[in-house]
Structure 1
Amino acid sequence: MSSSPSAAARTTPRSALRGAPGGPSARASRLFLPLIAVCTAVTAANIYLAAPLLPLIAHDFGSTPSAVTWLASVAQLGYAAGLLFFAPLGDSVNRRRLVAVLALVAAAALVAGAASAGTGTLAATVLVASAATVVPQLLVPLVAERAPADRRARHVAAVVAGLFAGVVAARVLGGLAGQAFGWRSVFVGAAVLTAVLGLATAYILPVERRRRPGPLFAGLAALPGVVRHSPDLWRACVRQAGMYGAWSALWTSLALLLAADDGYGMTTAAAGLFGLFGLAASVVAPLAGGLVDRFGAAKVVRSAYLVAAVSVPLFWLGGQVMAALCAAAVLVHAALVASHVANQTLALTTTSAPATANTAYVVSGFAGGALASALAGPAYGHWGWSGVCAVAGAWLVLGWTATAVRRKR
């Protein structure tokens, strides 16, 4: 983002300083974005690794699936803690070392989880692994920093596509692999992939100096001030909280509709395959990046909200009509990822502390999603699928109107 010589020195890969055209530096440059995207997919998958394996874990521990569902919440809690404590460090420490250390910690925790003999031990390992799985949020600011200004959103979109691909892989491929080889093998496989790709990514990252003096966790303390002094960042945080909340309410409750006797009565495996609609996000991400670079973030977010607003009544109709449900699933993923690419690009370029700003942005979106999900469950219990759709619609209205009021001040 800065064009000063010192900034350039900080963001130049070590191999580029000594390589020749066509040599190691050229290969590192070509591998930089694809490898980060793949590493993002693998590490993001760790957050959702336990969710499709819960029935197998329950059977192994002599329990019931409903008695171990809290393990998925532990993963989310761990990720939130990692975002708050580790993601801001991207502004103050060498990311090469931090990425390597976090990848190894996550891999070790996953191996320990595979060897656990009870849910308590497994929960502790899932918590640690998820907290260390903030590598994508350390890499996105770096990608935005290195990208040419006219292609910055497209580069960010490549990483976002990797993130959503990892989420889909965890839900679909993780469940299939668990059924074939057991949940412990899935954990070990994830550990190996996390370690290998994490270390490979760390190797090609730029050599960096510590860019800001002060306490190690100064970024965490600076979060409120960074948001308060940047209206654009505040707007991105609130709008993505509304968008992610709407998506989360619908997507986390969808399994209830698909598997319920008074719904579609699908098996767990069939309901899980419905997650393949999430691939729409990976397809839309690069398109959204190009649109942001061409038309600006504000227009893309506005369009994304309109698409999401259309998807909510389609989801409601999908309670009875499968075709409407499928169409709504595609639209809501397209809206979510387009909004995410636009808002995250804005968050990364609106302050002088991109890692801290990115942390504020991601935590805000996560908080909006978690709260909407918490409300969607009781809403489904009281009013059925219509209640879930109402929560999603309300979140979209809140996310947009809150920022519209702020903008007029």
Structure 2
Amino acid sequence: MSSATTVRPASAPTPRRTPPPAVFLTLLAVCSAVTAANIYLAAPLLSLMARDFGSTPSAVAWIASIAQLGYAVGLLLFAPLGDSANRRRLVGALTLVTAAGLVASAAAPGATALAAAVFVASAATVVPQLLVPLVAECAPADRRARHVATVIAGLFTGIVAARVLGGLAGQAFGWRWVFAGAAVLTAVLGLATAYVLPSERRRDGSLLSALATLPGLVRRSPDLWRACVRQAGMFGAWSALWTSLALLLTGPAYGLSTATAGLFGLFGLTASAVAPLAGGLVDRFGAAEVVRSAYLLAAVSVPLFWLGGQVIAALFVAAIAIHAALVASHVANQTLALTTTSTPATANTAYVVAGFAGGAAASALAGYAFSHAGWGGVCAVAGVWLVLGWGATAGRR
């Protein structure tokens, strides 16, 4: 990163001592990891929640979908402000709201109260999507995708940590302590990040005006539209499989404990390794080629996941493949979204909302499919989402 405090002419940072660029970028990546993990805390803890509430895991699976839906709503409400608001103040405020929502989740007396608290926490934990446009603004043009990929690697590491550490901690201490611990980590990392961000006097703007520009922005930019739809398909396929995987692993087919099933998330570390590589490939070959390759890899992973319903080794390979495909696609599509218009935060809002809306819809449908058609139904949902994501964009130029 060429300078940790370089921003566009629309911003006027006040003098402040900031960390060296490499340290600054690392802090943003770690903060993204912690805040992104909040969206996925519920997934590995479903069986523990169900036991506590006297229900079944499939009956509370919708709480994981509520988290993704809340994140999509939060993106729509707060991420566009990245083009106009003081990001330091905004990150600090959202951090405090997220921490409060996580504390309320830890104290929830029932599934409905838990879902409401999770929705609030997820809606406020949109800090990574305020930081990624800042990184894209600061990075040199020939290394922009690599720098964006660093923060994305942190984000996906947080997703993996939510499943692995969340499952282990939930088994050892109970699911409520997982949410309480997440509240502490979020407060510490979020406020530390807010402190080192440049203090900006941004141009006047409002949420309503930013939202009003979204439809026209997507309509005028075929590249942005294509990135939105393709990532919705990819993220939907990943969400359908990954949010339902705990139900398969802890169910009759394998009978694993919550902690053991959570360890399966270690295969998601593929994401951290693939992100920098994908960033370099985007800088060299362009986003379109990387996304095409990612979709082919995801298409191969779906039948492997289906086979994994009986053969656990197939699940190992499929988990690595789907994470590699998701991260490569995300790095390419998000870099494209951030650079295709003059309002990167607003464009990024459209992109990430589309992705998480696709993910929330697919994971909700996957929970229904698992209850009525088993693991094969989940794999079918993932396959349909990939077909829709690619097929809807293949003919438009």
* TM-score for the superposition, normalised by structure 1: 0.88
- Per the TM alignment, residue 294 of structure 1 is displaced from its structure 2 partner at its CA by 1.2
Residue 317 of structure 1, aligned match among 307, 313, 330: 307
Aligned to 1:403: 393
Residue 241 of structure 2, aligned match among 250, 255, 271: 250
Aligned to 2:178: 186
* Cα distance change on mapping 1:52 and 1:401 into 2, 3 Å: closer
State the SS of the aligned residue for 1:206.
Answer: coil
Letter in 2 for 1:90: G
Residues 238-280 of structure 1 deviation map (CA, whole Å, 9 limit, x = unaligned): 111111122222223333433443x334333322221221111
State the SS of the aligned residue for 1:93.
Answer: coil
Residues 296-316 of structure 1 deviation map (CA, whole Å, 9 limit, x = unaligned): 111111111111122223223
* Cα distance change on mapping 1:6 and 1:259 into 2, 3 Å: closer
Aligned to 2:3: none
Structure 2 contact 243–363 (Cα < 8 Å) conserved: yes
Mapping for residues 382-401 of structure 1, pairs under 5 Å: 383-401=373-391
Report the Cα distance in structure 2 between the residues aligned to 1:155 and 1:208, rounded to whole angstroms. Answer: 21
- Per the TM alignment, residue 12 of structure 1 is displaced from its structure 2 partner at its CA by 5.8
Aligned to 1:19: none
* Cα distance change on mapping 1:334 and 1:192 into 2, 3 Å: same
- Per the TM alignment, residue 45 of structure 1 is displaced from its structure 2 partner at its CA by 1.1
Matched, 1:147 2:139: yes
Aligned to 2:78: 86
- Per the TM alignment, residue 381 of structure 1 is displaced from its structure 2 partner at its CA by 4.9
Matched, 1:283 2:283: no
Report the Cα distance in structure 2 between the residues aligned to 1:113 and 1:378, rounded to whole angstroms. Answer: 24
Residue 128 of structure 2, aligned match among 109, 132, 136: 136
Report the Cα distance in structure 1 between the residues aligned to 2:92 and 2:36, rounded to whole angstroms. Answer: 15
Q: RMSD between aligned alpha carbons?
A: 2.4
Aligned to 1:327: 317
**Count of residues in correspondence between the two structures:** 392
Report the Cα distance in structure 1 between the residues aligned to 2:363 and 2:206, rounded to whole angstroms. Answer: 35
Aligned to 1:10: 11
Aligned to 1:205: 197
Provide the identity percentage. 78
Mapping for residues 7-406 of structure 1, pairs under 5 Å: 7=8, 10=11, 14-15=15-16, 24-25=17-18, 27-60=19-52, 65-211=57-203, 213-261=204-252, 263-381=253-371, 383-406=373-396
Higher radius of gyration, 1 or 2: 1
Of 35-44 and 5-14, deviating more is 5-14
* Cα distance change on mapping 1:406 and 1:202 into 2, 3 Å: same
- Per the TM alignment, residue 124 of structure 1 is displaced from its structure 2 partner at its CA by 3.1
Structure 2: which 5+ residue stretches go unaligned? 1-5
Structure 1: which 5+ residue stretches go unaligned? 16-23
* TM-score for the superposition, normalised by structure 2: 0.91
Report the Cα distance in structure 1 between the residues aligned to 2:167 and 2:7, rounded to whole angstroms. Answer: 47
* Cα distance change on mapping 1:214 and 1:270 into 2, 3 Å: closer
Letter in 1 for 2:136: A
Higher-RCO chain (CA-CA 8 Å, sequence separation at least 6): 2
